[in-house]
């Protein structure tokens, strides 16, 4: 698809993942630069309102808006709703699927309906009183404390003692009004990228130290990636099917990434990322390369699928 005149890339935004979004946007711009007549980067932060931003996008009349935003107010359905209302073509899933996927607790409930395993977990609202003793007894240690609706491992802690719980929740509540207390599944961290209706090769994430936190995620050399992950053909078949099942259940389309933990026996669903990163260290371009799809080809495939959305 090389006949594109004008593309807008949404970059930055209001979330705690704004800097990662800007890196994603620059990588997309660089890859498409020689094949598109005009590429315009737009940051929602620069406008007084989303309405003002939409007016500008309509005036520019792009062939498509490539959504390079990450996290809240880019990935949660708000931007998608505004673009859809104005019949502006955009990349990635539509508003409802985006909203479902962004809510980790709701998305987990839905995955559970189709018999996909989940870690034990509880949803915690800020400023509510809870019987944490019973929650600790149910979930057990170690446990993961995380915001209900953010990405890039922002606000997440892994704890081993009850006296660490209060501070960890305070930290999570800096990023969301809701937090999840979740069983930590010992084992392997695996992710499956979906492109169109196809599951790409499985990627295993192996931090050199600690766990896959923000620093290990975005610092070169801090994490090793196994592509494809060392799994049996039967294990690959199971995890790819589960990823596709969840992706379609939520109504996701075009592309995305489904994250799991694997204890050697069962795959445990964690979340769907509807706008995966497109940096040099990002997992989706990695999986695409293993499938023989270059970064530029990946971007054009995303654009083609989005333009031809039914």
pLDDT in tens, 257-277: 999 999 999 999 999 999 998
In a domain, 1, yes or no: no
Is the peptide bond preceding residue 44 cis, with omega within 30 degrees of 0? no
Whether 155 is catalytic is no
Residue 138 has pLDDT above 90, yes or no: yes
Whether 122 is catalytic is no
Whether 257 is catalytic is yes
Q: Which of 166, 183, 200 is the last residue of a domain?
A: 183
- Angle formed by the axes of helices 95-102 and 104-113, nearest 10°: 100
CATH number assigned to the domain comprising residue 177 = 3.30.1490.20
The catalytic position among 29, 76, 149, 259 is 259
d(CA 283, CA 253): 18
For residue 215, what pLDDT band results from cuts at 50, 70 and 90?
A: low
How would you classify the pairing of strands 203-207 and 64-67?
unpaired
Angle made by CA atoms 221, 224, 228, in degrees to the nearest 5: 145
Lowest-confidence pick of 53-57, 150-154, 175-179, 256-260: 150-154
At 276 the pLDDT is 92
At 220 the pLDDT is 60
Longest CA–CA span in the chain (Å) reads 61
The catalytic position among 17, 27, 182, 189 is 17
Same domain for 107 and 127, yes or no, is: no
What lies within 8 Å, CB to CB, of 106 at 6+ separation is 100
Q: Which of 145, 166, 183 is the last residue of a domain?
A: 183
Same domain for 57 and 134, yes or no, is: no
Average pLDDT over residues 291-308: 95
Total length of the chain: 310
d(CA 73, CA 14): 7
Same domain for 283 and 195, yes or no, is: yes
Same domain for 164 and 39, yes or no, is: no
Same domain for 249 and 105, yes or no, is: yes
Same domain for 27 and 63, yes or no, is: yes
Same domain for 216 and 87, yes or no, is: no
Average pLDDT over residues 279-296: 92
For residue 213, what pLDDT band results from cuts at 50, 70 and 90?
A: very low
Tell me the per-residue pLDDT of 44-92, one tens digit each, with 9 for 90 and over.
Answer: 999 999 999 999 999 999 999 999 998 777 889 999 999 999 999 999 9
Same domain for 171 and 54, yes or no, is: no
Whether 152 is catalytic is yes
Residue 153 has pLDDT above 70, yes or no: no
Whether 107 is catalytic is no
* Backbone phi and psi for residue 294, each to the nearest 5 degrees, phi listed first: -70, 165
CATH number assigned to the domain comprising residue 50 = 3.40.50.20
* Backbone phi and psi for residue 16, each to the nearest 5 degrees, phi listed first: -70, -5
How far CA 305 is from CA of 2, 19, 42, 66, in Å, comes to: 14, 27, 22, 12
Tell me the per-residue pLDDT of 199-209, one tens digit each, with 9 for 90 and over.
Answer: 999 999 998 76
The catalytic position among 11, 101, 273, 282 is 273
Average pLDDT over residues 95-114: 96
Same domain for 168 and 48, yes or no, is: no
* Backbone phi and psi for residue 29, each to the nearest 5 degrees, phi listed first: -60, -45
At 216 the pLDDT is 46
Same domain for 29 and 47, yes or no, is: yes
Residue-number span of the structural domain to which 63 is assigned: 6-91
The catalytic position among 21, 152, 176, 306 is 152
Same domain for 154 and 215, yes or no, is: no
The catalytic position among 29, 150, 218, 253 is 218
Same domain for 224 and 264, yes or no, is: yes
Q: How many domains does the chain have?
A: 3
Whether 59 is catalytic is no
- Count CA atoms closer than 13 A to 217's CA, side-chain side: 18
Q: What is the mean pLDDT of the chain?
A: 91
The catalytic position among 121, 122, 188, 257 is 257
The catalytic position among 76, 149, 182, 271 is 271
């Amino acid at each position: 698809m090389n006949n594109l005149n004008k593309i807008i890339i949404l970059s930055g935004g209001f979330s705690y993942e704004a800097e990662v979004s800007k890196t994603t946007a620059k990588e997309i711009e660089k890859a498409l630069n020689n094949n598109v007549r005009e590429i315009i980067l737009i940051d929602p932060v620069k406008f007084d309102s989303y309405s003002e931003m939409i007016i500008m996008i309509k005036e520019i009349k792009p062939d498509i808006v490539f959504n390079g935003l990450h996290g809240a107010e880019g990935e949660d359905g708000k931007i998608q709703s505004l673009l859809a209302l104005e019949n502006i073509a955009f990349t990635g899933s539509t508003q409802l699927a985006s909203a479902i996927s962004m809510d980790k607790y709701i998305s987990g409930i839905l995955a559970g309906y189709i018999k996909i395993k989940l870690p034990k977990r509880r949803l915690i609202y800020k400023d509510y009183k809870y019987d944490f003793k019973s929650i600790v007894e149910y979930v057990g240690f170690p446990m993961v404390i995380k915001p209900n609706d953010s990405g890039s491992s922002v606000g997440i802690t892994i704890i081993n003692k009850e006296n660490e719980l209060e501070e960890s929740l305070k930290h999570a509540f800096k990023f969301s009004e809701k937090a999840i207390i979740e069983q930590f599944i010992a084992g392997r961290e695996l992710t499956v990228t979906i492109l169109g209706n196809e599951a790409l090769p499985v990627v295993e994430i192996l931090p050199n130290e600690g766990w896959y936190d923000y620093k290990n995620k975005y610092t070169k050399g801090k994490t090793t990636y196994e592509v494809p992950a060392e799994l049996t053909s039967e294990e690959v078949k199971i995890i790819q099917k589960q990823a596709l099942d969840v992706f379609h259940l939520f109504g996701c389309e075009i592309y995305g990434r489904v994250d799991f933990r694997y204890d050697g026996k069962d795959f445990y669903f964690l979340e769907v990322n509807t706008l995966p990163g497109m940096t040099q260290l990002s997992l989706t371009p990695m999986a695409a390369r293993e499938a023989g799809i270059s970064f530029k080809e990946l971007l054009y495939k995303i654009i083609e699928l989005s333009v031809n959305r039914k």
